[in-house]
Amino acid sequence: MNFIDLEIFKTVAQHKSITKAAEELNYVQSHITNRIAHVEKAVNAQLFYRHRRGMILTPNGRILIQYADEILQLINDVKKKFIQPKELMKIGSTDSISSIYLPKLILKYHHSYPEVDISLITSSSENLIKKILNYEIDSAFIVGSTNQLDIVSYPYKEEELVLISSSDYHSIRNAKDLENQTILVFNKGCYHRFLLENWLKDENIHSFKKIEFDTIEGIIGCVQAGLGIAIVSQSIAQKYSHWQIKSHPIPSKYNRVLINLIQRKDNQLSLALSNFTKMAEEKYGV
């Protein structure tokens, strides 16, 4: 006798009918009859009076129904303890990182943990840091580092930066070649933009026009059309190389950035987030 037998016994007692119990439990009537006989044999007692009005509990049946209720309730409580509700994990990323590095990582995670829902929020590194501090997201991939004491950072991936232009643009040999040119950048808070502006400032280049974008596709499309110059990771430049764009090197002082995976120090890692962090570590060595 097992808990399924007790469920069958309880359902027959409730409906006072093998036919109705079979319909509710989606069993054939013969199976219900056999399981009731099995329970009666196991407890060595008749549990039902069988007559035209249906199945009526005997005194022994009324005793067993009390135990069956308690056992089935206990089993239900155990199930609730171990069957976790679907979890939502909020991951932040810059637009370019989400385009290059996250698709395969998230796909692998989704295949391994399909019960976890993922919400991917894209923004600038500066805004992602704020969202982490405000408990709005669980973890984030940012470009560069942060000195926030409440945040822990894990090095994820080093990137090389390049300038890109339309394929027919002249060579860019130094910062002077960017004077009076149009620079296509992400909104403020982008670390790539910060490095480019610092480079130009260090070289006393102040005369240039900036156009801001929200997406990497917007920047690449306008670069291809000849609207201006942009700074992107080498991986982005390679991904969109078929878009008729050309890459130009940047001095080594400004051409290296580190992608970091960040989380709040006081954020107690859920099992879902812990598994995600471990998977990221396996991919690139967090």
- What pLDDT digit, counting tens, does each position of 223-277 carry? 999 999 999 999 999 999 888 899 999 999 999 999 999 999 998 778 889 899 9
Burial of 52-78, coded b for 16+ CB within 10 Å and e otherwise, reads: eeebebeeebeebbeebeeeeeeeeee
> In which residue are the tokens 């609730």 written?
80
15 and 58 within one domain: yes
74 and 118 within one domain: no
Q: What pLDDT was estimated at residue 229?
A: 96
State the CATH number of the domain containing residue 113: 3.40.190.10
**Residue positions counted in the chain:** 286
- Whether 29 and 42 have beta carbons less than 8 Å apart is answered as no
Quick check: 285 pLDDT over 90? Answer: no
C-alpha 22/C-alpha 6 separation (Å) is 14
Q: Name the residue range of residue 179's domain.
A: 160-255
Give me the helices (H) in the chain, please. 3-15, 18-25, 29-43, 59-82, 95-100, 102-112, 125-133, 191-202, 216-224, 234-239, 271-284
C-alpha 57/C-alpha 46 separation (Å) is 9
> In which residue are the tokens 């308690």 written?
70
State the CATH number of the domain containing residue 49: 1.10.10.10
53 and 105 within one domain: no
Give the pLDDT band (50/70/90) at residue 286.
Answer: very low
243 and 104 within one domain: no
Q: What pLDDT was estimated at residue 115?
A: 84
- What pLDDT digit, counting tens, does each position of 149-205 carry? 999 999 999 999 999 999 999 889 999 999 999 999 998 889 999 999 999 999 999
169 and 150 within one domain: no
CA distances 258 to 120, 135, 142, 155, 191, Å, are 20, 23, 8, 7, 10
Last residue within a domain, chosen from 35, 65, 82: 82
C-alpha 27/C-alpha 278 separation (Å) is 45
Last residue within a domain, chosen from 82, 109, 134: 82
Last residue within a domain, chosen from 43, 61, 82: 82
246 and 270 within one domain: no
- pTM for the predicted model, two decimal places: 0.65
272 and 216 within one domain: no
- What pLDDT digit, counting tens, does each position of 2-43 carry? 888 999 999 999 999 999 999 988 889 999 999 999 999 999
68 and 30 within one domain: yes
- What pLDDT digit, counting tens, does each position of 70-81 carry? 999 998 888 776
233 and 171 within one domain: yes
Structural domains of the chain, count: 3
Would you call 240 helix, strand, or coil by DSSP? coil
251 and 109 within one domain: no
Mean pLDDT (whole number) for 95-104: 91
Q: What pLDDT was estimated at residue 34?
A: 93
C-alpha 286/C-alpha 137 separation (Å) is 19
Residue 18 in tokens: 């093998």
Residue 265 in tokens: 């120090």
268 and 132 within one domain: yes
143 and 278 within one domain: yes
Residue 122 in tokens: 């894209």
